[in-house]
Structure 1
Amino acid sequence: MATIDPRTEIKEFLSSRRARITPEQAGLPAYGGNRRVKGLRREEVALLAGVSVDYYVRMERGGLAGTSDEVLDALAAALHLDEAERDHLFHLARQSRAPRRRRPAATVRPALQQVLDAITEAPAWICNGRYDVLAANHLARALYSPVLADPRRPANTARFVYLAPETASTFFVDYDRIARDVAAKLRMEAGRNPHDEGLIALVGELSTRSELFRQRWASQDVRLHRSGHKRLHHPVVGRLDLDVETMELPAEPGLLLNVYTAPAGTAAADGLALLASWAASQAENTKPGSPGR
């Protein structure tokens, strides 16, 4: 994949969203039993969005430049877009209006590493929109040891999920959901920053080497980075059911802080304490002069 073309992204995204909605779901009468298109026709979307058919056809062909926010909102409503899909549509439109070659941060400032290191009782790490692991505290390095086993740096969670599926499907209890979400978030990032050379290279590599990724990528699904729940099976401490808080860093556009916690008194909290003990022992064993060194 040499590039991510915004016009192609727009065409495939809008046509895929149109195809999933039936006239009945849109509140339109369905005349005749044999429809040649799956989902809504272009003229039906135009009617629902309150624009001319020619205008909608131009938009679906990738021509969102000059489209007002009001029209985009009407189009999002006509296609029943959720929050992530609506945001994705607006990102694509912004790229059509005035493409920006934003270069995401490749490193983390020392002050941010200090923040991570100050979080001593929870795994915390910083990534960018393409899932590069850019910085982590000692507990996150212990928790994500299967991901960090890849010698390539920065380590990349998407690459782990799709190119090490046997290990990843053991580590992530809900592997199918994780794989779906990772591809959807990468697609979201592609709409936000289609000129990111690292993202283009990653999508190309995954598309070449993983049939599952090709399927997920072709779905055109998008998702926001959100807080939630993650179930992991760590190779040393076993099952961990963790709450995940994902926060954008306003001073570092494109970077996300992820913190994993567990309610006090739960098996997961005990597991994190055991993980901390294991991580401390690993650090002690790697010191110069330690037994086995």
Structure 2
Amino acid sequence: MSDAATTSLGQFLRERRTRLDPASFGLGLGRRRTPGLRREEVAQRAHISATWYTWLEQNRGGAPSSDVLQRLAGALMLTELEREHMFILALGHPPEPRYQQPDTVSPRLQRVLDAMPDSPAMMRTATWDVVAWNRAASLVLTDYGKLPPRQRNILRLLFSDTRIQAAQDDWLKVARYVVGAFRADAARAGAEVGELVEDLRQSSPQFDALWRNHDVIGHGDGLKRLHHPVEGSIDLEFSTFAVEGRPDLCMMVYIPGNADAAAKIQRLLVPSGEQSSMA
């Protein structure tokens, strides 16, 4: 760690400490000569010695460990962005992603999905649970809103739902691709993925065989052909996007692969009553 980085870390810790309100921690009693928390109070909150914390602010004692930095992030009430900044100052790289299983997404992210009315789009987790989707995804891909939350999982659907299997142009090719891409995500999900993998291996010999191949596949973009029960074959192009500040989420967007697919999606988006009046 360079002297410049060390100095910046000390300044950053000192700045964040002095911005904290002692009263919010029940520490507002008595006279305080300086703003914010005292060094020993931050050290106590982080479960490290006051001497060690003082050295960090004074740019002494070498680089702290990732564990110490995590505890300091909690003690100083840092945001995710501030925590990442602190790690870069201290160690020269951001922290390892912390997987959090979300139940839903923010209204802003839902609005992003809804702003693409002609393109099926969804948000999925590192365990491939679908936690948000737009209307086009419900009509073209799967109506996730009609499924219990536990079943809103791309792997569970692909290996257990005969309707989903029949909708794939080449089910085995799709299954091999999905398992390989899922394995790339599984390392980030850590222990959260264990139960899902065991369930799938017990319930699906096909998944078990593919999982034992240990293939790892990138899944940035590609082509997909669906067999829709109403419109027949629909060619789609898909792309995946990381969500800034949410390493646990991935956005998947499907766009029509040709004019015929675009027309079919448009027909699906028109309410059934209006379709009858247009006939």
Which position in structure 2 is the counterpart of 1:78?
none
Q: Report the Cα offset of residue 148 of structure 1.
A: 5.9
TM-score normalised by structure 2 residue count: 0.59
Instruction: Look up the SS of the partner of 2:247 in the other structure.
Output: coil
**8 A Cα contact 1:147 1:157, kept in partner:** no
Separation in 2, partners of 1:99, 1:252: 13
Instruction: Look up the SS of the partner of 2:246 in the other structure.
Output: coil
Query: Aligned residues: percent identity?
Result: 32
Q: Report the Cα offset of residue 147 of structure 1.
A: 6.2
TM-score normalised by structure 1 residue count: 0.56
- The answer to whether the aligner puts 1:194 opposite 2:190 as a matched pair is yes
- The answer to whether the aligner puts 1:272 opposite 2:265 as a matched pair is yes
* Greater C-alpha radius of gyration: 2
Instruction: Look up the SS of the partner of 1:273 in the other structure.
Output: helix
- The answer to whether the aligner puts 1:145 opposite 2:120 as a matched pair is no
Instruction: Look up the SS of the partner of 1:241 in the other structure.
Output: strand
Separation in 1, partners of 2:139, 2:273: 9
**How many residue pairs get matched?**
181
Runs of 4+ residues over 4 Å off in structure 1: 98-101, 146-149
CA offsets per residue over residues 225-282 of structure 1, 9 Å max, x none?
Answer: 2111111011121110011121111221121111111256x211111111112xx338
Instruction: Look up the SS of the partner of 2:252 in the other structure.
Output: strand
Separation in 2, partners of 1:282, 1:125: 26
RMSD, aligned CA: 2.5
CA offsets per residue over residues 76-120 of structure 1, 9 Å max, x none?
Answer: xxxxxxxxxxxxxxxxxxxxxx98763243321111111111211
CA offsets per residue over residues 124-167 of structure 1, 9 Å max, x none?
Answer: 11111221111111111111236665434461111011112x32
Separation in 1, partners of 2:145, 2:269: 17
**8 A Cα contact 2:151 2:157, kept in partner:** no
Q: Report the Cα offset of residue 214 of structure 1.
A: 0.5
Separation in 2, partners of 1:274, 1:150: 24
Which one scores higher on RCO, CA 8 angstroms, separation ≥ 6?
1
Pick from 123, 131, 134 the counterpart of residue 134 of structure 1: 131
Superposed counterparts of 1:251-290, under 5 Å:
251-262=245-256, 266-277=259-270, 280-281=271-272
Separation in 2, partners of 1:267, 1:204: 41
Residue 110 of structure 1 aligns with an amino acid whose one-letter code is P
Structure 1: tracts of 5 or more residues without a match: 1-97, 285-293
Pick from 114, 119, 138 the counterpart of residue 117 of structure 1: 114
Separation in 2, partners of 1:282, 1:135: 27
Separation in 1, partners of 2:115, 2:97: 35
Separation in 1, partners of 2:242, 2:208: 28
Structure 1 residues 114 and 248 mapped into 2: Cα distance closer, same or farther (>3 Å)? same
Superposed counterparts of 1:228-243, under 5 Å:
228-243=222-237
Q: Report the Cα offset of residue 186 of structure 1.
A: 2.1
Separation in 2, partners of 1:155, 1:213: 17
Superposed counterparts of 1:88-107, under 5 Å:
102-107=99-104
- The answer to whether the aligner puts 1:171 opposite 2:167 as a matched pair is yes
